Amino acid sequence: METLYGGETTAEEVLSRAETLPFLSTRRVVVIRDADRLSLKDQERVVDRLEQHPCPHACLIFLAQRIDRKGSLFRAFQRIGKVIPCDLTDPQEVREWLQRRARQKGKRLTPAALQALLESAGDDLNLLEGELERIILLVGEREEIQTEDVLAQIGRRMHHIFEVMDALGYARAADALRGFRSLLEHGEEPLSILGMISRHFRLLSKAKQMEAEGKPQAEIARQLKIPPPYLRSLLSHAKSVPWDAIEGFWERLLRCDSFLKSERNLGVLEIERLILDFCQQVTDAGDRKRPGRQIRPEDQP
């Protein structure tokens, strides 16, 4: 099995891996993540080659966030393969999916434990999967997962996660770095941490925008599906974090993601640089707003 990334690979590399005969197995599996980031030219080359010369010994799995249903890639998948929608948007579907994952591993979540897990990790399937794996290790051979098991696992982890998010929101770089390193020391994967940071800032952006539109806090909490205490923290952060810092943050997150997928240690360093640069940007923005401060020409936007 091999994994490629659409934004970093080409049609020739995808086809070369697919056409290589498997060793000591009947199939070669090639997973292409972010397939929607393949250029249109590369997509067409992949489709043409596979239609003319199928690879019976290979299984190609294309994963994409978005796909053009009128495009050649989608139509080709319908002809020579299979299209499987994987987006779970209905809350009940997410609950059923999580319970199925637990049963596949020989466990059963009580209704209260299921609710506690959803409230802590939201509807992000990657986060839910990771949390479930850790809870299963915690309960050992016991079949039933109870609320206490979920809280025991999440409580330790959420302390460090909250430390990172809260420190970023108030531009406390040292605290944010300490929390980030604590998560790593406790076995958290950098990509998972990056996903949690991304989710927090996605919610922060939405909450900031909705508050600017004059929506009441109860309505914001309902639409974002987050508890009121978390919303109050988000809105407090929103007052100190300017829009330009948030916009630049997304570009840096993408850069961190790319580094982590190619070189883990380099990616970890890039996340730490992101934390330092972001906190500095928020601090500088706050300084410019303070009355009586002399604005130097180089500080002008």
CA atoms of 295 and 301, how far apart (whole Å): 11
Pairwise pLDDT comparison (90 vs 279), residue with the higher score? 279
Q: Which whole-number Å values give the CA distances from 39 to 46, 65, 73, in the listed order?
A: 11, 15, 11
pLDDT digits (tens, 9 = 90+) for 38-55: 888 888 888 888 888 888
CA distance 49 to 51: 6
Euclidean distance between CA atoms 189 and 174, whole angstroms: 20
Instruction: Please tell me what DSSP assigns to residue 107.
Output: -
The answer to whether residue 149 scores a pLDDT higher than 60 is: yes
Ordered structural domains, the chain, with CATH? 2-80 (3.40.50.300), 87-145 (1.10.8.60), 159-286 (1.20.272.10)
3-state helix, strand, coil in the chain (%, to 5): 65, 5, 25
Backbone φ and ψ of 299, nearest 5°: -85, -10
Cβ-Cβ contacts under 8 Å for 18 (sequence gap 6 or more): 28, 30, 50, 55, 58, 60
The residues, any chain, with a CB within 8 Å of residue 129's CB and separated by 6 or more, are 101
Predicted local distance difference test score (pLDDT) of residue 196: 82
For the entire predicted model, the pTM comes to 0.51
Determine whether 289 is exposed, middle or buried from the number of CB atoms within 10 Å of its CB (0-12, 13-18, 19+): exposed
* CA angle 154–155–157, rounded 5-degree value: 65
pLDDT of residue 103: 93
Distance in angstroms (rounded) separating the CA atoms of residues 37 and 169: 31
Taking residues 161-182, report their average pLDDT.
86
pLDDT of residue 145: 92
pLDDT, the chain, mean: 81
Say whether 39 sits in a helix, a strand or coil.
coil
CA 176/CA 92 separation, integer angstroms: 35
